[in-house]
Amino acid sequence: MTTAARSSNPFRVLARHRNFRIFWTGQTLSQVGSWAQTMAVGWLSLQLSNSAFVVGLVASVGAVPIVLFSMHAGAMVDHGNKLRIVRVTQSILLLQAALLWLVTITGQVSIPILLALACVQGLSSAVEIPARQSMIIQLVGRDDLQPAIALNSSGFNLARVVGPAVGGLVIARFGIAWCFALNAISFVAVLWGLFRITLPAPERANMVRLTVTGMHELLSRSTVGAAEGLRHLATPGPVRDLLALVTVGAVLGAPFLTLMPVIARDQLGLGASGYGSLLATVGVGGLVGALLVAGPLSHAARKGRVLMTAALAFPTLLLGFAYTTSVTMAYVVLLATGVAMITFNALSNGVLQLLVEEQYRGRLMAFYSLVFVGLSQAVGSFAIGALARVVTAPHAIALAAAALLVASLYAMVSSNFWRR
């Protein structure tokens, strides 16, 4: 391996790969707009309904199409031109944001419209996420895949810090509708970059065209391809072992963010701004973790051991956060939690893509999005919210974290992958 490849500079892939530099810049800008829109939709749904249940419904309904159709979409991605699919789905997301702006600025917005547009976003994301994630290897090659995925995660976490802050300023100065306009404009920047990307010939060869005939062919393949992909991912081995732990972590671990407002208000005595600061702290920790994976950890000799360390640290830290009553300690624990969570997520994403065969990469990323976006929101958030009604929010987070810790310990002793 060359000296450049071994560099610990997390941004080296941006300098080495023009296509990825364009892609990463556009995606990071888009995520800022998406986080601003997510914040604004939650606030708007609360204004329209004055119901916490409706707010949760609007937030989770977009995950349903991802649960239902991700594997079919992954099969389509594996037989299609990934770059063209990303362009088409990003265009649909642009139109969705623009329509959301239009109905809000004209006063025609309602809860049914928000639910319908959330479904459109979910359907588009079910296809766009696996296409975008599995395309990264085409932009940087196998040697730089791990740092590229980690750097992509760093952009997501940077946006998670910046997006809500920008959204709050826009709402205060111009009104909710302009958060949606901001998101639509961010998609224009993304599409401009995507049309500047050129992929090597192998990516274009033997791909089904996105014509009416081509789409029919893609759809006819998708059911068979989805089942084939699930069978492949379920084959005993390191891919199955890692996917199992990823799934448990997404369902039991990630939804702690759903109960963050309750912990902020009832346990730490914070208001809305304090709640935002807690979320931003997780984002900062995630950014640090992603940069570590993109830099020094990208060429670590034993990624399995680093993965397992993060997998054990994440639920342990959640147990500490569940019962802390000190605001200062909460910030410290959440910062470390963000580092552990994103270190595990970014490393597992890259390791899985390197382990799986090329023809299954789209379906792997489809399953990954099904777990992290679909099951985490549609199952994990609902379950932890229901549990909190019975045993209180701190106990709900602690019980979920304890179950995840047990699952991580079981994975450590039952698989040889973690010793790598």
What pLDDT is attached to residue 313?
A: 94
At 420 the three-state DSSP class reads coil
Model pLDDT, residue 3: 43
pLDDT value, residue 10: 63
Please list the alpha-helical segments (H only) found in 141-264: 145-173, 177-194, 201-204, 212-233, 238-252, 260-262
Q: What is the pLDDT of residue 272?
A: 59
Q: Identify the pLDDT of residue 321.
A: 93
Confirm if 264 and 278 have CB atoms less than 8 A apart: yes
Nearest to 16 by CA among 203, 146, 141, 191: 141
Token reading at 24: 């990463």
pLDDT at 316 over 90: yes
What's the residue count for the chain? Answer: 420
What's the confidence (pLDDT) of residue 142?
78
- Ranked by mean pLDDT, the top range of 340-354, 368-382, 396-410 is 396-410
Q: Which of 88-102, 188-202, 289-303 has the lowest mean pLDDT?
A: 289-303
3-state per-residue secondary structure call for 69-137: HHHHHHHHHHCECHHHHHHHHHHHHHHHHHHHHHHHHCCCCCHHHHHHHHHHHHHHHHHHHHHHHHHHH
DSSP for residue 208: B
- If you average pLDDT over residues 313-333, what whole number do you get? 93
Is a pLDDT exceeding 80 seen at residue 296? no
- Return the pLDDT at 329: 95
Residue 128: is it exposed, middle or buried by C-beta count within 10 angstroms (0-12/13-18/19+)?
buried
Q: Which domains does the chain have, with CATH numbers?
A: 12-419 (1.20.1250.20)
pLDDT above 90 covers a percentage of the chain that reads 18
Average pLDDT over residues 362-369: 74
Q: Would you say residue 203 has pLDDT above 60?
A: no
Helix/strand/coil for 355: helix
- The percentage of residues in the chain with a pLDDT greater than 70, rounded to a whole number, is 84
Whether the Cβ atoms of residue 66 and residue 126 lie closer than 8 Å to each other: yes
pLDDT, position 327: 92
Mean per-residue pLDDT of the chain: 80
Convert the pLDDT of each residue in 133-176 to its tens digit: 888 888 888 777 777 877 777 777 677 677 777 777 787 788 88
Contact 365, 244 (CB under 8 A): no
Tokens, residue 377: 């929101």
Q: Bridge-partner residues for 80, per DSSP?
A: 208
Neighbours of 220 (CB within 10 A): 10
| Average pLDDT value for residue range 385-409 | 88
| Residue 228, pLDDT above cutoff 90 | no
